[in-house]
Structure 1
């Protein structure tokens, strides 16, 4: 599993959020609500899509697939702007992240994430930080295609 430690500058994200759990995964619903609003966001930095998750401080200590978290669908923007209906702003704070390339179907990502937390973290010398986790879906992202690629960012600290 290839990884890279990177410093991420603060990011301003415009998007929509929905509370969910892994058992009641509503990611598809969230993206279906967000995508029609994409063209109304005028100050996008690029064509990447951002999928972000915000977890409670004890989410991973007492992991249970029915635990709820906040999921965001969004894009990075250059500055805060007046928003159209239903869109919100959230900032990803600056900090250290471990970055992984994931290739495959979203429905098969579970074992990949499991290996990050059960294998990579114990050997890394890092621990999980309490900032948003996010994925960047760029030019090589193809929805529901086994050759699809996205970059996974997980917040870390020494």
Structure 2
């Protein structure tokens, strides 16, 4: 599986966040909280959901399943003029990304093992210290083997 390499501009996001680790993975809780409230965001640029992760710089070099990270459930917006209560803003810094088209269950993490353990070491790139994210578009279906999403990994030249 080969990614597209893309450069994106900065993005404005509105959503909710929750700290978690892989050992104490609370992504379901985050999306259950965000789901009913996302309709309060009225200046969306599209209907896509963005599941974003902010890792500490040493997260992967000193990996433990208990390492905490910040997970966001968001949508991209035009501006921050109308931020609903209980929501926060996030400025996603643009840059170079490897974009993987993924089809399958969202609970199958082997795609990330492939990206970080196989593709990345053999590529001309290394991880950049910027957020990772998935775009959950119209073909995304939670817990469905036919679900499709885009996985965006921040990279820089080695």
TM-score category of the 2 structures, normalised to the smaller one: over 0.9
- Which residue pairs with 1:141 in the alignment? 140
- Which residue pairs with 2:110 in the alignment? 111
Q: Which region of structure 1 is more displaced relative to structure 2, 4-13 or 77-86?
A: 77-86
Which runs of structure 2 are paired with 1:58-69 in the superposition (5 Å)? 58-69=58-69
Q: Normalized against structure 1, the TM-score is what?
A: 0.97
Q: Which runs of 5+ in 2 are unaligned?
A: none
Report the number of matched residues.
157
Within 2, Cα distance between the matches of 1:27 and 1:13?
Answer: 18
Within 2, Cα distance between the matches of 1:62 and 1:121?
Answer: 17
- Which residue pairs with 1:57 in the alignment? 57
Within 1, Cα distance between the matches of 2:151 and 2:105?
Answer: 14
- Which residue pairs with 1:30 in the alignment? 30
Q: Which runs of 5+ in 1 are unaligned?
A: none
SS at match of 1:107: coil
CA-to-aligned-CA distance 1:88-138 (integer Å, 9 cap, x gap): 000110100000011111111x11101111111111111100110000000
Structure 1 stretches of 4+ with a deviation exceeding 2 A read none
Q: Normalized against structure 2, the TM-score is what?
A: 0.97
- Which residue pairs with 2:151 in the alignment? 152
C-alpha displacement of 1:38: 1.0
Which runs of structure 2 are paired with 1:39-118 in the superposition (5 Å)? 39-108=39-108, 110-118=109-117
